[in-house]
Amino acid sequence: MQAVPPEPDMVQLLTPEGVRVEHPDYPLEITDDEIQSLYRDLVLVRRVDTEAIALQRQGELGLWASLLGQEGAQVGAGRALRPHDMAFPTYREHGVAWCRDVDPLVLLGLFRGTNLGGWDPADNNFNLYTIVIGAQTLHAAGYAMGIVRDGAVGTGDPDRDTAVLAFFGDGASSQGDVNESFVWAAAENLPIVYSCQNNQWAISAPVTTQSRVPIYHRAGGFGFPGVRIDGNDVLASLAVTRKALDQARAGLGPTLIEAYTYRMNPHTTSDDPTRYRLAAETETWKLKDPIARVRAYLTRHAHVGQDFFDAIDEESEQLAEHVRAGCRALPDPDPLSVFEHVHVELTDELREQRDAFAAYLDSFEEVPA
């Protein structure tokens, strides 16, 4: 089965060949230095992904959900956020995590199985990964309701006005929660931007299983604008998300952005895409790679020299080592820790279970190695 072909109305600011193009609605003033910085993000994020897959193959991670192919959509969206904005990811937004300065090692815990997430969303204004498909879009709407009640929208003060960026996939667009979130956002004019990472495949189901119309068209029925971008174009993602977030902070309400991209890898390391899609399709998308086009632009049009690319490669090696060594050093949790955070305070009945379990564990004799 083929995924639906791209629509001609995608916003694109950098072609797959690396040529800058203008869009009347989304002018982007950006320096070549800033594009170099985006290139660095893209390369490093892909390297984290590559290392995580390798760690899974070596048995160091139980599972990994690869973002390969979606770096442009994610980095563009992530770099459009201001520090006090809040992001609600799925479990694949490693590129957004990177832009929020979340150490990649923090993400590995739940894939290694040493915790279920464990980070504090307030540290980087990056919510915990959410595994139930689409559930986080309602959390994002609720958070935006809090922003409104805090008077942190439409004041004109850039340090105060706050927006929420909620991620979900093409599969999630069928979920009731996502549609309910749209209802809330529209009815209450919430400061929220939805980033639908349409990577064409919900495990084995193509996007035609989810929708008869392009996903961004759905927004119109709810009463707010929708726009489709070339999800492999980091500049389009940056420009469109930035404008939508500006509007949200100004009190102009929600926007749905459909980032039209492609999941180059299996759904997770446990998946086998040869059972449901043709290699030819993946090959076509290789030609639209989000990193190659930025490199082509930098080389041909910005005349960036080899030194820059060598330096990024060197940094990439160091990051890879940090991920490898850090992953292996993640401590196994104490069996008794399962009781610790069920409630704010341990209840008497859980204390009884914990003590009984501790006594049981202690009842085993130490066997010399």
Give the span between the Cα atoms of 83 and 169, in whole angstroms: 24
Work out whether 117 is an interface residue with other proteins (CB under 8 A): yes
At closest approach, how far in Å is the CB of 242 from other proteins?
A: 23
Number of residues forming the site for other proteins (CB under 8 A): 43
Please tell me whether residue 145 binds other proteins under the rule CB under 8 A.
yes
Selected range binding other proteins among 37-45, 74-82, 252-260, 340-348, rule: CB under 8 A: 340-348
Q: Per CB under 8 A, does 216 bind other proteins? A: no
Residue 227 phi, psi dihedral angles, 5° rounding: -145, 140
Separation between Cα atoms, residue 304 and residue 17, nearest integer Å: 16
At 348, the amino acid letter reads D
Site string for other proteins, 167-186 (x = CB under 8 A): ---------xx--xx-xx--
Residue carrying structure tokens 């086009």: 293
DSSP strand E in 4-134: where? 86-88
Q: Tell whether residue 121 is a contact of other proteins (CB under 8 A).
A: yes
Q: Does 135 bind other proteins (CB under 8 A)?
A: yes
Name, in order, each residue with C-beta under 8 angstroms of 79's C-beta and a sequence gap of 6 or more: 38, 41, 99, 238
Is 343 near other proteins (CB under 8 A)? yes
Taking the complex as a whole, the smallest distance from the CB of residue 339 to other proteins amounts, in Å, to 10
Nearer to other proteins, 105 or 148 (CB): 148
Residue located via tokens 């500049």: 235
Out of 33, 272, 348, 362, which residue is the one contacting other proteins (CB under 8 A)?
348
300-319 exposure pattern, b = at least 16 Cβ within 10 A, e = fewer: eebebeeeebeebeeebeeb
Residues 6-35 that bind other proteins (CB under 8 A): none
Which C-beta is closer to other proteins: that of 42 or that of 164?
164
CB of 129 to other proteins, least distance (A): 9
- Reading the block at residue 304, the tokens are 């960036």
For 118: left if phi > 0, alpha if psi spans -120 to 50, otherwise beta; the answer is left
Q: Which is nearer to other proteins, 159 or 340 (CB)?
A: 340
List the one residue from 4, 21, 187, 356 that touches other proteins (CB under 8 A). Answer: 187
Q: Binding residue for other proteins (CB under 8 A) from 27, 146, 305, 335?
A: 146
SS3 59: coil
**Among residues 188 and 315, whose Cβ is nearest to other proteins?**
188
Q: How far is CA 92 from the centre of its chain?
A: 5
Are 261 and 71 within 8 A, CB to CB? no
138 binds other proteins (CB under 8 A): yes
Tell me which of 38, 80, 144, 196 binds other proteins, using CB under 8 A.
Answer: 144
- Comparison of 64 and 119: residue with beta carbon closer to other proteins: 119
Binding test (CB under 8 A) with other proteins, winner from 39, 91, 111, 143? 143
**Per rule CB under 8 A, is residue 307 in the interface with other proteins?**
no
* Cα distance between residue 187 and residue 223, in whole Å: 9
The DSSP annotation for 284-320 comes to HHHTT-HHHHHHHHHHHTS---HHHHHHHHHHHHHHH
Which residue, 250 or 346, is less far from other proteins as judged by CB?
A: 346
Residues with Cβ within 8 Å of residue 166, at least 6 apart in sequence: 87, 88, 136, 137, 140, 141, 181, 192, 193, 194, 195
Q: Which of 13, 138 has the CB closer to other proteins?
A: 138
Residues in the site for other proteins, rule: CB under 8 A?
Answer: 115-122, 127-128, 130, 132, 135, 137-150, 176-177, 180-181, 183-184, 187, 340-344, 347-350
